[in-house]
Chain A
Amino acid sequence: MRRAVTTTLLVLTCTGLALAGGPTWVKWDAAKAMAAATGKPIAVYCTVDQDGGSC
């Protein structure tokens, strides 16, 4: 189980690649509404900082 998560997330680091079977990504505003309705936490994967600089 852990290996599947690891593989999926690994390819997303900085490369910008997507992998079939990975997590469903939603927009920040939608995530906030979903979290409030379900109690689930939000995990944000950032590839840019507040100035727009990327990794």
Chain B
Amino acid sequence: MKKSNEFIFVKCSDKKTAQAVKAASPPEVVVFDCDAELVHRRTVSDAAAIVEVLDAALKKYSNSEITWNVYEDKALADAKEKNKLVVLLFTDDKKDSQDTAKALEDRVLAKHHEKLVFIKVPYTQGAEDAKKWGVNQAPSILLVDPAKEAGTKSVVDKLGGKQKPLAIKAMLVKGMEKVKREGR
């Protein structure tokens, strides 16, 4: 049962759960992402419709490719102008860097992509850029507020080493909320 492993299943046959998921027209399948935000819903009349709903939901809740910007002052300035935070990824040519770049494209992060500008920075130990941003390993992910002076002062939070999608998501969401609380 392929789909059994891909979803967490809830049977909603009580009013309380129906209200929590805003059930409208049973029999209905409602699919939520890992933050319990709505992905897809549909009234289902037969088994084929159920499979279609699950397939459609997986299509919507899927990995999303990142358009990487080149590391230069202009990319940071553009992000500032767009009022977006920046993800700086310091990378080298090793697998951990590739895996971490891929993890940033995971479906758990996809809905946050539009709020961020992604910039890849080639990492060289002891190099000027690494010193400027306080980075001493690759991969490193930095969440940066481009409204502040470029460098360690503008780093909202960071993660060093190979990372999994949920760990990256936790850091980015926490950082974005922190900046929002500060009135940005």
Contact = CB atoms under 8 A, between A and B. Distances in A.
Interface in A16-39: 16, 21-28, 31-32, 34-39
Contacts of B17: 27-28, 44, 46
B101 to A, nearest CB: 18
Contacts of A14: 26-27
A52 B21 CA distance: 13
Contact of A25 (B11, B28, B44): B11
Contact of B107 (A23, A24, A39): A39
B6 A45 contact: no
Given A10-B47, A23-B1, A47-B13, A42 B8 contact: yes
Interface size class of B (residues with CB under 8 A): 35 or more
Contacts, number: 173
Contacts of A10: 46-47, 50
Nearest to A24: B9
Given A10-B50, A43-B9, 19 more contacts: A6-B47, A9-B47, A10-B46, A23-B1, A24-B9, A28-B12, A31-B8, A37-B166, A41-B57, A42-B8, A43-B29, A44-B12, A44-B21, A44-B31, A45-B29, A46-B23, A47-B12, A50-B18, A52-B15
Interface of A: 1-2, 4-10, 12-14, 16, 21-28, 31-32, 34-55
28 contacts: A2-B2, A5-B4, A13-B44, A23-B3, A23-B4, A25-B9, A32-B36, A39-B34, A39-B165, A40-B6, A42-B7, A43-B7, A43-B30, A43-B54, A44-B17, A44-B29, A44-B32, A45-B11, A45-B50, A46-B27, A46-B28, A46-B30, A47-B27, A48-B23, A49-B23, A49-B25, A50-B18, A55-B27
